[in-house]
Amino acid sequence: MTNGTLFRYFLKRHLATIMWFLLGIAALVFLLDFVENSGLRGAFPASRSSTRFSSP
């Protein structure tokens, strides 16, 4: 009886840790992408999001 309960407890804790880790990695990727794209837009004074991908 206690083996199943203990297993479920550790499984829940393990899955929660994995979820928070992946969420943290996703947040870091989002922030790095945001900062990189913000720096790119700042390099071109007349750039807009619609003209960013067109050739000059």
CB 35 within 8 A of CB 29: no
The C-alpha atoms of residue 41 and residue 52 are separated, in whole angstroms, by 8
- Amino acid letter, residue 20: W
Please give the average per-residue pLDDT across 5-12, as a whole number. 93
pLDDT tens-digit readout, 26-46: 999 999 988 888 776 655 555
| Residue 2 or 20, more confident | 20
Cβ neighbors of 52 (< 8 A, separation 6 or more) are 40, 41
Q: What is the DSSP string of 6-24?
A: HHHHHHHHHHHHHHHHHHH
pTM of this prediction? 0.60
The rounded Cα 44 to chain-centroid distance in angstroms is: 26
